[in-house]
Structure 1
Amino acid sequence: MLDRRLHAFRPDLADVALKGQVEAARFVTPEPAMVVQPVVALRPKADPSIGIDTELLMGEEVRVFERENGWAWVQAVDDGYVGYLPEATLGGVTTATHVVAVPRTFVYSGPDLRFPTRLALSMGSRLTIIGEAETRGTRYFLLADGGALVARHLRPVSDPPAIDYVSVAAFFLETPYLWGGKSGFGIDCSGLVQLAMRMAGLRAPRDSDMQASGLGVPIERNELRRGDLVFWKGHVAIMEDETSMIHANGHTMSVARETLDAAIERIGWLYGTPTGYRRPVAET
């Protein structure tokens, strides 16, 4: 059985790439589109009252299978996640030149930190920069609509990625925990792993069960070192060194540091002991 989180198929409609693998009344070739709002919830149904599966950030590309009643049924290009989002959050595909490289930043109405802000963007958001300006010694990058961002908050997409994804994850300490979140405004355990790794040029599946079964290679607890992952049922943490870890968790409702021993003792009464340990590998 194909995973519906990663394959677009319903009884009435399916991705043409799945023809011969699933049954559907109609198969369609998806159309390309791009997220044009800062953070967009992706849901398992076209219903704003239900919980989210994940989030997409500004500049992320999707494949659109259906547009109906103000909703779009899409698949994210980056990680293959399938779901529904408001159609109004999508626009045409453009070529990104820069990516937000700090946890959060603002789009100002012009190149001046005293100007009103238009948007707040998360790390990982992708933008097309058309120029630059300087005001009172601060350099700004400019957008086609006149918006401006502090230049030091962005990096060109052509630049080498971050070297150490654990250091990227540490930028998110104290960020609020959000089920399904994948941004600097709210993030969950597997979203933290995925976003931090993406900023370091590494690919990671979205959900913790996907990461536990296919991200990197399995190792033993006594082999743990910086950058390794520890899994519980429905949870993942990033090791900072042999004994301490960073994770987005529902206990502190934030991204927090904790020793592995303390986490195992605290989590054990409800979720049991760790189900596995894995070492990510460079799969770009």
Structure 2
Amino acid sequence: MIFGICNLSITPIRAEASDKSEMTSQMLFGEHFTILEKGKYWSKVRISFDEYEGYVDNKQFEEISEEIFHRLSTKEPIYSGEVIDFITSSTNDLITIPLGSRLPNFINNEFIMNSKRYAYDGAVFSGILPKNEIIKNAFTYLNTPFLWGGKTPFGIDCSGFTQMAYKLCGYKLLRDSKQQAKQGEVLSFIEESEPGDLAFFDNEEGEIIHVGIILNDYHIIHAHGKVRIDTLDHSGIFNADLQKHTHKLRVIKKMI
């Protein structure tokens, strides 16, 4: 078995082994993974955090040992807490990192990744945080443009948004909205929900296609065009700008 780690600020994960293929997700700096198939130019990988699979350019990651992989998989993660910041390597290389990048073995403003030492003096997230912190994280992404497969404050999709808001608080959500909809506890009514719970929405075929984070007073924050706040009612999401419902409510779930 071969293992790897993302050593760039953001690396695209694609549906097929080609730069022209659809970007289905992203890896952020410090994310580790299993290499399922190693090709000449591309590798099929499985992300350790959420077991999401896709193809990554071989030039955009480093291989790591099985020992390092298992250490990262069992150790409590520490994530960067700035919208954007940079790290400095021991050879004075600067790498920008987005919010939610992992800092392996971080201590005293330093960390080591695959034997290379880095310095970082920004804010961090670690441990399990209270549920209300999910809302604070969600607001950090407000007005971020929608980007299919995106997971950063510079472009994010609906399920990447919910996953990152929870991830920074120490909770694991799967990558896609239809996968996230299989997690948690079903609530019967909006009135039973509390801020931080998730609302899922389906299409005419009954397929889950959208997710957002419930706020107080019948509002929801979600990624649709951009990360925005809209009204939530028993029918779904009402967009005040368009003066119409844009998403049909399917189910509300309590994740924590």
Q: Same fold (TM over 0.5)?
A: yes
What letter matches 2:94 in structure 1? R
Partner of 2:127: 160
Distance between the aligned counterparts of 2:33 and 2:104, measured in 1? Answer: 17
Partner of 1:259: 231
In the alignment, is residue 69 of structure 1 matched against residue 40 of structure 2?
A: yes
Structure 2 contact 201–236 (Cα < 8 Å) conserved: no
Greater than 3 Å deviation, 4+ residue runs: 92-98, 128-132, 140-148, 265-272
2:28 pairs with 27, 44, 57, which one?
57
Distance between the aligned counterparts of 2:238 and 2:127, measured in 1? Answer: 39
Listed as ranges, the matches of 1:68-147 within 5 Å are: 68-93=39-64, 94=68, 98-108=78-88, 118-128=94-104, 141=110
Task: Describe the SS at the equivalent of 1:192.
Answer: helix
Partner of 1:23: none
Distance between the aligned counterparts of 1:117 and 1:255, measured in 2? Answer: 33
Larger radius of gyration: 1
Listed as ranges, the matches of 1:38-53 within 5 Å are: 38-53=9-24
Task: Describe the SS at the equivalent of 1:273.
Answer: strand
In the alignment, is residue 226 of structure 1 matched against residue 195 of structure 2?
A: yes
Distance between the aligned counterparts of 2:148 and 2:136, measured in 1? Answer: 22
Identity %, equivalent residues: 26
Structure 1 contact 226–242 (Cα < 8 Å) conserved: no
Distance between the aligned counterparts of 1:270 and 1:259, measured in 2? Answer: 9
Residues 236 and 131 of structure 1: CA distance in aligned 2, closer, same or farther (over 3 Å):
closer
Q: CA deviation at 1:193?
A: 0.8
Partner of 1:190: 159
RMSD of aligned residue pairs (Cα, Å): 2.8
- Which residues of structure 1 form unaligned runs of 5+? 1-29, 111-115, 133-139
What letter matches 1:260 in structure 2? L
Q: CA deviation at 1:205?
A: 1.0
Residues 130 and 102 of structure 1: CA distance in aligned 2, closer, same or farther (over 3 Å):
closer
Task: Describe the SS at the equivalent of 1:92.
Answer: strand
Distance between the aligned counterparts of 1:263 and 1:272, measured in 2? Answer: 5
Partner of 1:26: none
Range that drifts further, 198-207 or 123-132? 123-132
Distance between the aligned counterparts of 2:138 and 2:170, measured in 1? Answer: 13
Partner of 2:5: 34
Residues 117 and 248 of structure 1: CA distance in aligned 2, closer, same or farther (over 3 Å):
farther
**Can you list the C-alpha shifts for 1:78-101, whole angstroms capped at 9, x where unaligned?**
111111011122213346674212
Q: CA deviation at 1:109?
A: 6.9
Q: CA deviation at 1:72?
A: 0.7
Q: CA deviation at 1:142?
A: 6.8
Partner of 1:276: 251
- Which residues of structure 2 form unaligned runs of 5+? 203-208
Distance between the aligned counterparts of 1:258 and 1:165, measured in 2? Answer: 17
Distance between the aligned counterparts of 2:253 and 2:106, measured in 1? Answer: 42
Task: Describe the SS at the equivalent of 1:152.
Answer: coil
TM-score (ref. length: structure 1): 0.72
What letter matches 2:180 in structure 1? Q
Q: CA deviation at 1:107?
A: 2.6
The structure, 1 or 2, with the larger RCO (C-alpha pairs under 8 Å, 6+ apart) is 2
How many residues end up aligned between the 2 structures? 232
**Can you list the C-alpha shifts for 1:238-273, whole angstroms capped at 9, x where unaligned?**
0121412211112xxx21222224962349978652
Normalized per residue, the structure richer in strand is: 2
TM-score (ref. length: structure 2): 0.79
